[in-house]
A and B are shown apart, each in its own frame.
Chain A
Amino acid sequence: DGGITQSPKYLFRKEGQNVTLSCEQNLNHDAMYWYRQDPGQGLRLIYYSQIVNDFQKGDIAEGYSVSREKKESFPLTVTSAQKNPTAFYLCASSVPRDRGTDTQYFGPGTRLTVL
């Protein structure tokens, strides 16, 4: 049963702590993405990776870091440098555009709250 999984579903963090959000996919997709969504706002791109061992900053990368050591996994670390980390974090994957499509499929999301 192919899909994208994210864990945990809910995460609470104290100020000053780093936390890592997990994203795994078994769709054999090359590209993976991280977004955050705030109430009443659209999705904003944090980081993306078109291929293993390579990733690029999105529109709001400050205070976040990622790694892409395996095709299936794209973890996101929210560091203490992120000033307003409370948000809904969504991971997505796709077959890159040069293969004819860039439809993105989303995981169920992680809701992060900073206490």
Chain B
Amino acid sequence: RKEVEQDPGPFNVPEGATVAFNCTYSNSASQSFFWYRQDCRKEPKLLMSVYSSGNEDGRFTAQLNRASQYISLLIRDSKLSDSATYLCVVSGFQKLVFGTGTRLLVSP
């Protein structure tokens, strides 16, 4: 079993749609959780950290379910500029473990 698993997609949605990604992780001792965004042929950039109580940043909402060991990202009112690959990231021992990413394509 992979340490971090994501549906690779692609998720094809129209502008204005709401889309949700899930990610599962295997290490129950993980303490830190993140969503990164990666554009084609670019470096990953931090989108948001994920806290146990859930957190929101504008159109983006992240949730953590420790009991079921999954993390979610909800994007509301999708924009064309949201098209990218979204990486789920979980802390391990002295390192971060990256999922392979979920690709999102937002169309006009």
Contacts and interface: CB of A to CB of B under 8 A. Distances in A.
A97 B32 contact: yes
A103 B46 contact: yes
Contacts of A33: 95
Contact of A90 (B32, B44, B96): B44
Contacts of B31: 97
Contacts of A90: 43-44
In which size bucket is the chain A interface? 20 to 34
A102 B46 contact: no
Contacts of A45: 95
A42 B98 contact: yes
A35 B41 CA distance: 14
B94 A56 contact: yes
A97 B41 CA distance: 29
Nearest to A45: B95
Interface of A: 33, 35, 40-43, 45, 48, 50, 56, 58, 88, 90, 97, 101-109, 111
Given A102-B91, A107-B43, 15 more contacts: A35-B98, A40-B8, A42-B4, A42-B99, A42-B101, A43-B44, A43-B87, A45-B95, A97-B91, A102-B96, A104-B46, A104-B96, A108-B42, A109-B42, A111-B41
20 contacts: A35-B98, A40-B8, A40-B100, A42-B4, A43-B87, A48-B94, A56-B94, A88-B41, A90-B43, A90-B44, A97-B31, A97-B91, A97-B94, A102-B96, A103-B32, A103-B49, A104-B46, A108-B43, A109-B42, A111-B41
